[in-house]
Amino acid sequence: MKVATLTTVGLGVVLIVTVVVSLAIGTVAVPVRGIFELLLGMDSPSLSSTEQVILMQLRLPRIFTACVVGGALGVAGAGYQGLFRNPLADPFVIGASSGAGLGVTIAIILGLQWTIWGVGAISLAALLGAITAVAAVFGIATAGRRVPTLSLLLAGVALSSLISAIMSLLMFINDEKLVAIFGWLMGSLSGKSWSVVWTAGGLAGSGIVVLWGLSRALDALTFGEETAASLGLSLKGLRFLVVLAASTATAAAVAAAGVIGFVGLIAPHIARSLVGARHVHVIPASALVGAILLLVADDVARTVVAPAELPVGVVTALLGGPFFLYLLKTRQEEFVAQT
Amino acid sequence: MSVLQAQGITCGYADRTVLDRVSLELHPGEVAILLGANGAGKTTLLRALSRRLEPRAGQVLLDRQELSGFGNQQLARQIALMPQNERRDWPLSVVDAVSLGRAPHRGWMLPMTSRDRLTVERALELTCLRELRDRPITELSGGEWRRMVLARAIAQEAKILLLDEPTAGLDVRYQVEMLALVKRMAAEQKMVIMLTLHDLNHASLYGDHLILLHDGQIVATGKPADVLHAERIEAAFGIRVMVIPHPVYETPLVVPLDPMDQEPVADRADES
């Protein structure tokens, strides 16, 4: 237990270092000493005013958005994997991301601008889309009382394709909104303002807290539903809460930065290999690993072809796709046995 | 003193009726063993008794109160179920897995208290799992895994323990040890314990009370000597057997005969 806690603290330190490094690098390199002065609220004589603007208005919001989005996707992945007891479940694979994407596409086309309690129409549309998609995939993939890997993947893939087709159709019909939707769909963290950080942070944070509170219940689910129920767990309640919380986190991420794949798949795996299988450790560790992964991916996206940028979704897919295939290959026997 | 009763319960899945008006009563301090061929309805009965399955007719009473009136956690503090098969998707350590037995008492959010940890340690000790406490449950052998499940049920501190084939997949030593432990727990802690078993001779040795199911109905119930009669076993399992006294304990010993051998059996112990 101590080891897992220490590892989590260690991940936190790695995240802070990654944040500082990410602040320093870019088209304009900023000295690290100045970054510390600025972050600690001191007068920073070593930074020019241009550098201060770059840090405060451009890089910090962007980096915080990356942390929030990566963390939200990591935790959502851990939540879905725990609920479906399936190591290949993640927001992207099981259709939550594309569902959220469809929600956002519709919101952009309708030009919805209103907000309730600071949560915008786009975020709510994303949430609605994500929950609907997950419920559909879960419903289709359930065979008896189990969710076999194969049906989960097939249902996820099929529904995602269907949703992509609908999105393409919507974009085709509304071609004046094409650029806005398409740019957003590719997954990008550029040009994020502080308000994005706060909205996404609030939504994702609440999802993360709820999932963390459900840790022990998710642990009990590893024995199967019959045993979990005989330990006093209300399965319906748990399913509802996990899907709601994980989809809220996914929706926050998608509304803030578009569809970014594979972070939600990889982060929980790395987290589990570092802190063990108990969700009380896996969930915070997945958040930290997800944040670090997406931050690094974004650093790559904005530096390799500088001054131009790659969409960060392309970078995570390039890194995550092979990882997904590797999982599928190395754990093939297990998956075949399950189905 | 907990008493578990079934009153004329009828259960089934889809259009198939598995249990037909079954009534029974389980008492503290006794090991009740459920016998019957595959498909006779043993697992269904355990599921109905633990509220995993809603009976179509009849009712299950715990301390004279209907099972449906209990809350999930309240029921889990009273009844622990050990299913025949369990999944293990994540490599939790043995001690973490056993600790989940405390959830009905501690809830799903609150941290464990020192009393919880003590209970878990005692459960590990009773099932000889102390050395394996840090091993991932995904790496346990079949026998170790069954002991882990039993330890979790012990940690649950339920007064009623329903075990579905607790000896399946164990070697003969662990089968006997498991049954002896269960019998000791029933006697010492006045627990109500019911298990399903395929080995009639183990049932004869360790059961205080045997229940023979055939085609969804109880065809015999009582002490081993009252239940284990050759004709009943032949009717329930469709095999030819001979029942003789156990050379050491005098309890009934069931010896299956070759189904190809059609010669009538000259002297059967329970007919004399």
- Render pLDDT for B108-119 as a digit per residue (tens, 0 to 9): 888 889 999 999
Do the beta carbons of residue B45 and residue B19 sit within 8 Å? yes
Q: Which residues are B210's β-sheet partners?
A: B33, B222
CA distance to A148, A155, A184, A226, per residue, from A145 (Å): 10, 16, 38, 9
CA dist., res. B191 & res. B32, Å (int): 11
Do both B264 and B167 map to the same domain?
A: no
Do the beta carbons of residue B159 and residue B28 sit within 8 Å? yes
Q: Which tens digits make up the pLDDT trace of B183-204?
A: 999 999 899 999 999 999 999 9
- With vertex at residue A46, the alpha carbon angle to CA A45 and CA A47, rounded to the nearest 5 degrees, is 95
Q: Under an 8 A CB cutoff, do A224 and B73 touch?
A: no
Q: Under an 8 A CB cutoff, do B92 and A214 touch?
A: no
B153: its two tokens: 């049920």
| Chain A residue with Cα closest to B112 | A216
Query: In the 3-class helix/strand/coil scheme, how is chain B assigned residue by residue?
Result: CCCEEEEEEEEEECCEEEEEEEEEEECCCCEEEEEECCCCCHHHHHHHHCCCCCCCEEEEEECCEEHHHCCHHHHHHHEEEECCCCCCCCCCEHHHHHHHHHHHHHCCCCCCCHHHHHHHHHHHHHCCCHHHCCCEHHHCCHHHHHHHHHHHHHHCCCCEEEECCCCCCCCHHHHHHHHHHHHHHHHHHCCEEEEECCCHHHHHHHCCEEEEEECCEEEEEECHHHHCCHHHHHHHHCCCEEEEECCCCCCEEEEECCCCCCCCCCCCHHHC
**Dmax over Cα atoms in chain A, in whole Å?**
67
- Which range marks the domain in which residue B147 is found? 4-228
CA dist., res. B187 & res. A8, Å (int): 46
Q: Which tens digits make up the pLDDT trace of A104-141?
A: 889 888 877 776 665 678 888 888 898 899 889 888 88
- Rounded mean pLDDT of chain A? 85
Q: Residue B238 phi/psi, 5° resolution?
A: 70, 30
Q: Residue B195 phi/psi, 5° resolution?
A: -140, 155
- Taking only residues 72 to 131 of chain A, the set having a beta carbon closer than 8 angstroms to any beta carbon of chain B reads 82, 85-87
- Rounded mean pLDDT of chain B? 89
- In 3-state terms, what secondary structure has residue A119? strand
Q: What percent of chain B has pLDDT over 70?
A: 96
The ipTM (two decimal places) reads: 0.83
Residue B271 in this model has a pLDDT that exceeds 50: no
The predicted pLDDT at position A112 comes to 74
Asked if B101 reaches chain A (Cβ–Cβ under 8 Å), the answer is: yes
B184: its two tokens: 């000791």
Do both B120 and B237 map to the same domain?
A: no
| Chain B residue with Cα closest to A273 | B91
Residue B267 in this model has a pLDDT that exceeds 70: no
B104: its two tokens: 């009905």
Taking each helix axis from N to C end, the angle separating A2-24 and A263-275, rounded to the nearest 10 degrees, works out to 140
| Chain A residue with Cα closest to B98 | A220
Once rounded to an integer, what is the mean pLDDT over residues B154-178? 90
Residue A15 in this model has a pLDDT that exceeds 90: yes
A219 vs B76, B92, B109: nearest CB: B92
- Look at A44-58, B125-139, B215-229 and tell me which has the smallest mean pLDDT: A44-58
CA distance to A28, A38, A50, A63, B234, per residue, from A43 (Å): 20, 7, 15, 22, 93
CA dist., res. B34 & res. B133, Å (int): 32
Do both B249 and B176 map to the same domain?
A: no
Tell me the shortest Cα–Cα distance from A3 to chain B, in angstroms.
13
Tell me the shortest Cα–Cα distance from A218 to chain B, in angstroms.
9
Do both B149 and B263 map to the same domain?
A: no
The predicted pLDDT at position A339 comes to 39
**Dmax over Cα atoms in chain B, in whole Å?**
66
Chain A interface, best mutation among B86, B89, B120, B148, by max A CB count within 10 A:
B89
Q: What ranges do the domains of chain A cover?
A: 1-55, 70-338
Residue A152 in this model has a pLDDT that exceeds 90: no
CA dist., res. A8 & res. A281, Å (int): 8
Do both B63 and B153 map to the same domain?
A: yes
Omega before A307 within 30 of 0, i.e. cis:
yes
Residue A50 in this model has a pLDDT that exceeds 90: no
Do both B168 and B209 map to the same domain?
A: yes
Do the beta carbons of residue A85 and residue A149 sit within 8 Å? no
CA dist., res. A54 & res. A60, Å (int): 8
B221: its two tokens: 């119930």
Please count the other Cβ atoms lying within 10 Å of the Cβ belonging to residue A310: 18
CA dist., res. B26 & res. B55, Å (int): 18
Among candidates A16, A19, A14, which has minimal Cα distance to A30?
A: A19
Q: A227: which chain B residues are within 8 Å (Cβ-Cβ)?
A: 81, 83, 86
B155: its two tokens: 């940690």
Q: How far apart are the first and last CA of chain B?
A: 40
Residue B272 in this model has a pLDDT that exceeds 50: no
The predicted pLDDT at position A45 comes to 67
Asked if A5 reaches chain B (Cβ–Cβ under 8 Å), the answer is: no
Under the banding of pLDDT at 50, 70 and 90, the label for residue A288 is very high
Tell me the shortest Cα–Cα distance from B217 to chain A, in angstroms.
24
Give the domain CATH number at B144. Answer: 3.40.50.300
Please count the other Cβ atoms lying within 10 Å of the Cβ belonging to residue B28: 17
| Chain A residue with Cα closest to B93 | A277
Number of domain units in chain B:
2
Asked if A272 reaches chain B (Cβ–Cβ under 8 Å), the answer is: yes
Do the beta carbons of residue B224 and residue B232 sit within 8 Å? no
Q: Which residues are B253's β-sheet partners?
A: B244
Q: Residue B219 phi/psi, 5° resolution?
A: -100, -20
Last residue of a domain, one of B212, B228, B244: B228
- Taking only residues 202 to 221 of chain A, the set having a beta carbon closer than 8 angstroms to any beta carbon of chain B reads 213-214, 216-217, 219-220
Taking each helix axis from N to C end, the angle separating A121-141 and A96-110, rounded to the nearest 10 degrees, works out to 140
The predicted pLDDT at position A338 comes to 46
Do the beta carbons of residue A327 and residue A90 sit within 8 Å? no
The predicted pLDDT at position A299 comes to 92
Q: Residue B32 phi/psi, 5° resolution?
A: -100, 135
CATH number of A70-338: 1.10.3470.10
Q: What percent of chain A has pLDDT over 70?
A: 92
Do both B35 and B140 map to the same domain?
A: yes
pTM strictly above 0.90: no
